[in-house]
A and B are shown apart, each in its own frame.
Chain A
């Protein structure tokens, strides 16, 4: 069964954000990695880049397909996960842990209210609560 942690906010496009103060950590969901199958390549944004919510800012490629990753929130990229670039399989094995993509300094905390709760994300992917 798909893992949907209760402490995260979710985008309809299957990214998650874990917020701590003004900083968010972003990755893709367990459901997304499962749909992608084996991830073989991850391209992350440059540190310092300003991104807007909904903007394509990373690429994840699996054996089957390549997908853009859309930032769930606006802000400045402050750190990227070099480990996931070196070992893209972390996206599959630890989507909410070692498979995170980047940390972002949030510029608009109100955007968090537009993201999906775990329950709503669960409903979106058709996984009954």
Chain B
């Protein structure tokens, strides 16, 4: 049976970056959905019901009472949300769905390859693992243009302090040569990914972001490393 579409009020907005905003959608009274970390919701405004966009949840399944999604100023919906959405606004929400789900087994290592706002579902992955004090190892390899484009930078560093099984690595692709950044530069490469693999048979790969990045990850994992397709989950932007 199809899950009902629910009208929700924006309870809180947080500008993560100048072009990226998190909106918290408050569940109505009595609403208590069953969903999983890593799923996405589809939203629309009451005045444009045929115009819908799907966004990964950046909150996790243990966050009750609200959904959070983190949106970049991209397209008509992204622009409206980032520039205009405010507490008290109403949106319609098609409940969470999707199979981009973390495998929370103690011996597993989740290597999460992200580009740009593709990092948002991984915030949910790490939030749940940290809240539950899981032994599952999670490594995020995150590609951004510059240091000004790192979404959830402070939060991921805080989560690293709280969760010894979690590691967060950033690479910047378009930094000025004189930029003082001492971290990695350049695109995500096969070598960089392989550096983080300790036990291939117990590694599950996730990739979320632009098509090019996701296709790179698929090629690396499936064609180059000959890993069974059950060990990779991807979410393309389009």
Contacts and interface: CB of A to CB of B under 8 A. Distances in A.
Contacts of B53: 40, 61, 63-64
A44 to B, nearest CB: 14
Contacts of A23: none
Contacts, number: 37
Interface residues of B, number: 15
A65 B42 contact: no
B115 interface: no
A27 B109 CA distance: 43
A62 interface: yes
Interface stretch (B70-78, B163-171, B174-182, B226-234): B70-78
Given A65-B75, A66-B75, A66-B76, A40 B238 contact: no
Given A41-B76, A59-B75, A64 B52 contact: no
B42 A63 contact: yes
A64 B236 contact: yes
Interface of B: 42, 50-54, 74-78, 211, 236-238
20 contacts: A36-B238, A37-B238, A40-B51, A40-B52, A41-B75, A41-B76, A59-B75, A61-B53, A61-B75, A61-B77, A62-B238, A63-B52, A63-B53, A64-B236, A64-B238, A65-B74, A65-B75, A65-B238, A66-B75, A67-B238
